[in-house]
Chains A and B, each alone.
Chain A
Amino acid sequence: MSVDSVAAGASGKEAVRRPASKRRWRDSDLWWSFTRSKLTVVSAVVTAVIVVSALLAPVIAPYDPTDLSSLSLLDAMIPPAWEADGSWSHPFGTDDQGRDMLSAILYGARISLVVGAASVVLAMLLGVALGLVAGYFGGWLDTVIMRLADVQLSFPAILIALLIDGVAKTALPRDLQSSAAIAVVIGAIALSYWVHFARTVRGSTLVERGKEYVQAAYVTGVHPLAIMLRHVLPNVLGPVLVIATINLAQAILTEATLSFLGLGVPATQPSLGTLIRIGNNFLFSGEWWIAMFPGATLALLALAVNLLGDWLRDALNPKLR
């Protein structure tokens, strides 16, 4: 808000400023270390391809796997195109209900990504807010929040997600269950991942709070909320970005695990995990493609995002430059 009002007052300067910020990005250490690492560039490309094709699934997918009327059991269990009985009308084959695997994977990746991203964003909002409050105000508030985090950290995230998912499903009325299923999964994963954000942000907040620019703002009479949001927050966000990237891969895997166990998203909107679960039933009867293609997509996506997170962590760490 503040930058805008200044820019409005000095619109002449604005024109000079914009290209400079673009040049700064091109000259930045981040861009330099990105282009230098082949692995990172490949990971970024793989991630981008999966994300874009998942988002464009309704446009590029050859069939609509959610449209039950278009399914025909006559098409069931067709192997991939390059196998003996395969056909190019279903390049990755079909499952037991005659769904085109390629389309199912595209739609499934979409749900996996949406659930993963939404739960990480939610976990980030929750964790950053609680971490900021704990670090800035300290005292009993800090004690309560951080002990809660410690308790939660002593359980595996998947266990907590299972617990929340189970409780929510029991608590919700039956007719709401399938429509709220995705929201429940997002909430369950978010509540099991906020701890990482909260702990990191609390630590950085403690450091920043002791610095003189925060004290200067206090002496000026700035509202504590404004000090937290406008002074401390921008200075603690670096590590948050790294955790968010790494947690994105974990959240996607957690969602897949929940769906594999039959607790995640409903079977009418299959995610990658649901597809793997369905395929798992046929793995030993020879129909390997139903589990293998969604599994490979999931592994590739998680690996690429994880590698991006690793790179970001190193690139933002001044000690490793």
Chain B
Amino acid sequence: MPEPLLRASGLVRYFDVSAPWLNRVLERKPRAVVKAVDGIDFEIGRGETFSLVGESGCGKSTVARLAVGLYRPTRGRIEFDGTDLATVGSRREMLPIRRRLQMIFQDPYASLNPRWRVREIIAEPLRTHRLLSGAALDERVDELLTQVKLDPADGEKYPHEFSGGQRQRISIARALAANPEFLVADEPTSALDVSVQAQILNLMKDLQRDLGLTYLFISHNLAVVSHVSDRVGVMYLGRLVEVGEAREIFRAPRHPYTRLLLDTIPDLKMTRREREPVGGEVPSPIDPPEGCAFHPRCPFANERCRRERPELLAAGKSAVACHAAEEGRL
């Protein structure tokens, strides 16, 4: 495999959610730390789409924010094309990297400045990196609007004049403006109607093919993930439980949690399939269970799962973090 574009190694991000100092002292509350991302490793090769899936609160959005430098890792490294993002000191040194990576956000109503014209919004990356100005800038913005299937005349409007799907197109146009190589998409379709979701996803796939983009795609929607991904990482409580080729994972999921997720997809062809009744909710990331974090919900859990945290081990084409899979108990 050639040098990956993005590599996370031992990536950890904790959030301190303790009560204020006075409350801790007076009410004897302990310090509370959310282990949003608790030691994950993955690589994303050039031109591929790597998806992170998992339930709400599993830390997938935190990974997205770490990947674009919105958060700094508590421990571990996140490398973009060989450069550790945490070691880049000043904003000025970061600028060349910033030009190459961009982000598409979840909420199309909050991700566009309501007081800016669409033209200005899309032109911002070009102005920031001083790539174009004057007539060439206008031309490029028109081209971008056309590329995301909007009308160049829409540039004069304000964001509130557009629907959610159109706003997300504007977001994509802004993200593409400076010709980045790497796009992080944090649930780009979950705020949209189902019919519009497919349009946005197909647009993203077309753009990837035409422009050779690399995607880190975050979603809780497995149908969406299977549609766009080359490789998939399944997250549970801040850890990766299974990583592998998308086709492989959807065809033969190995981790009990991946199986649980796939079982919850309604499937017209397999209406009478036996479903494993795995109940329960995601435990709090402030106080995750000992051993394997999934053991309270896992039908295959034994004594070892309750004590020892499983590591991500290669198994065939995928990698799985599960004692039961390792021991062949599944």
Interface on A for B, CB 8 Å cutoff? 2-3, 5-6, 8-10, 13, 17, 211-213, 215-224, 231, 234-235
> Could you say which residues of chain B place their CB within 8 Å of the CB of A234?
113, 115
A221's partner among B98, B110, B117, B156 (CB-CB below 8 A) is B98
Within 8 A of A (CB), among B96-148: 98-99, 101-103, 105-107, 110-115, 117, 119-120, 123-125, 127-129, 133-135, 137-138
B70 touching A221 by the CB < 8 A rule? no
- Excluding A6-B119, A217-B124, A218-B70, 13 further A-B contacts by CB distance (< 8 Å) are A3-B120, A5-B133, A6-B123, A9-B134, A9-B137, A9-B138, A213-B112, A215-B111, A219-B70, A220-B98, A221-B128, A222-B124, A223-B91
A221 touching B94 by the CB < 8 A rule? yes
Give min CB distance, B111 to chain A, whole Å: 4
Once the chains are docked, how many angstroms separate the CA of A234 from the CA of B70?
23
Once the chains are docked, how many angstroms separate the CA of A10 from the CA of B152?
12
Give min CB distance, A22 to chain B, whole Å: 16
Q: Would you call the interface of chain A mostly helix, strand, loop, or mixed?
A: helix
Once the chains are docked, how many angstroms separate the CA of A215 from the CA of B103?
9
Known contacts A2-B127, A17-B156, A218-B70; A213 and B117 CB within 8 A of each other: no
B124 touching A211 by the CB < 8 A rule? no
A220's partner among B105, B117, B124, B133 (CB-CB below 8 A) is B124
- Give the size range of B's interface with the partner: 35 or more
Known contacts A3-B117, A13-B156, A213-B112; A221 and B102 CB within 8 A of each other: no
When C-beta atoms are compared, the residue in chain B nearest to A224 turns out to be B91
Once the chains are docked, how many angstroms separate the CA of A270 from the CA of B123?
53
When C-beta atoms are compared, the residue in chain B nearest to A222 turns out to be B128
B156 touching A220 by the CB < 8 A rule? no
- A-B pairs, 5 with minimum CB distance: A221-B98, A212-B111, A212-B105, A9-B138, A213-B113
> Could you say which residues of chain A place their CB within 8 Å of the CB of B106?
212
When C-beta atoms are compared, the residue in chain B nearest to A220 turns out to be B125
B115 touching A235 by the CB < 8 A rule? yes
> Could you say which residues of chain B place their CB within 8 Å of the CB of A219?
68-70, 98, 101-103
Give min CB distance, A229 to chain B, whole Å: 12
> Could you say which residues of chain B place their CB within 8 Å of the CB of A220?
98, 102, 124-125, 128, 178
Known contacts A211-B110, A213-B113, A221-B95; A6 and B174 CB within 8 A of each other: no
A215 touching B91 by the CB < 8 A rule? no
Once the chains are docked, how many angstroms separate the CA of A284 from the CA of B128?
69
Once the chains are docked, how many angstroms separate the CA of A231 from the CA of B112?
10
Known contacts A216-B174, A220-B98; A2 and B120 CB within 8 A of each other: yes
> Could you say which residues of chain B place their CB within 8 Å of the CB of A6?
117, 119-120, 123, 138
Once the chains are docked, how many angstroms separate the CA of A17 from the CA of B117?
12
Give min CB distance, B205 to chain A, whole Å: 22
When C-beta atoms are compared, the residue in chain A nearest to B101 turns out to be A219
> Could you say which residues of chain A place their CB within 8 Å of the CB of B156?
13, 17
> Could you say which residues of chain B place their CB within 8 Å of the CB of A218?
70
Once the chains are docked, how many angstroms separate the CA of A81 from the CA of B98?
75
